[in-house]
Amino acid sequence: MHLLTVTNSSGSNAEKPPQKKKKVHGPRPLSLLLLPDELSLNCLARVPRCYHPSVSMVSTTMRRLIASPKIYVERSFLRRTENVLYVAIRSCVTETPRWYTLNLKPFGQQESGVVNHSLVPVPSFPAVPPWGMSIVTVGSEIYVIGGCVNDKMVSTVFVIDCPSYTRRFLPRMKQARACSAAGIVGGKLYVIGGCNPRSSNWVEAFDLKTQTWETVTVVHNLEVYEKMIRSFVMDGKICIMDRKSSFAYDPKEGRLERDPLLNGQWSVGSCVIDDKLYAFGRRNTIMEFDPVARFWSQVRGLEDLPDKTEGSKMVNYGGKLVILVNLQRRSTEIWYTEIELERREGGEVWGTVLWSNRVLAFEDSYVILRSLAVSF
Q: Per residue in 124-137, pLDDT tens?
A: 999 999 999 999 99
pLDDT digits (tens, 9 = 90+) for 233-249: 999 999 999 988 999 99
Among residues 356, 353, 368, which one has the least CA distance to residue 268? 368
Neighbour-count burial of 68, counting CB atoms closer than 10 A to its CB (0-12 exposed, 13-18 middle, 19+ buried)? middle
Q: Is there a single domain that holds both residue 249 and residue 148?
A: yes
In this structure, is residue 19 part of a structural domain? no
Q: Is there a single domain that holds both residue 113 and residue 171?
A: no
CA atoms of 206 and 212, how far apart (whole Å): 6
Mapped to the 3 state alphabet, what secondary structure does 219-232 carry?
Answer: ECCCCCCCCCCEEE
Q: Is there a single domain that holds both residue 174 and residue 155?
A: yes
Q: Is there a single domain that holds both residue 368 and residue 274?
A: yes
| Beta-bridge partner residues of 279 | 287
In this structure, is residue 212 part of a structural domain? yes
CA atoms of 275 and 341, how far apart (whole Å): 13
Q: Is there a single domain that holds both residue 148 and residue 107?
A: no
Q: Is there a single domain that holds both residue 220 and residue 144?
A: yes
Please count the structural domains in the chain.
Answer: 3
pLDDT digits (tens, 9 = 90+) for 188-212: 999 999 999 999 999 999 999 999 9
- Using the 3D structure, point to which of 257, 291, 311 is the last residue of a domain: 257
- Using the 3D structure, point to which of 227, 257, 287 is the last residue of a domain: 257
CA atoms of 226 and 317, how far apart (whole Å): 30
pLDDT digits (tens, 9 = 90+) for 35-63: 899 999 999 999 999 999 889 999 999 99
Q: Is there a single domain that holds both residue 217 and residue 227?
A: yes
In this structure, is residue 107 part of a structural domain? yes
Whether the CA torsion 328, 289, 83, 109 is positive or negative: it is: positive
Among residues 48, 147, 56, 46, which one has the least CA distance to residue 97? 147
Residues 6 or more apart whose CB falls under 8 angstroms from that of 75 comprise 45, 81, 82, 376
Which one has a higher pLDDT value, 77 or 111?
A: 77
Provide the residue type at 345 as one letter: E
Residues 6 or more apart whose CB falls under 8 angstroms from that of 194 comprise 132, 134, 146, 153, 177, 178, 179, 180, 181, 226, 227, 228
Question: Integer distance in angstroms from the first to the last C-alpha of the chain?
Answer: 95
Q: Look up the pTM and report it.
A: 0.87
Q: Is there a single domain that holds both residue 160 and residue 233?
A: yes
Does 97 have pLDDT greater than 70? Answer: yes
CA gyration radius, the chain = 30
CA atoms of 215 and 244, how far apart (whole Å): 26
Residue 245 domain boundaries: 127-257
In this structure, is residue 27 part of a structural domain? no
Does 9 have pLDDT greater than 60? Answer: no
Among residues 188, 157, 159, which one has the least CA distance to residue 172? 157
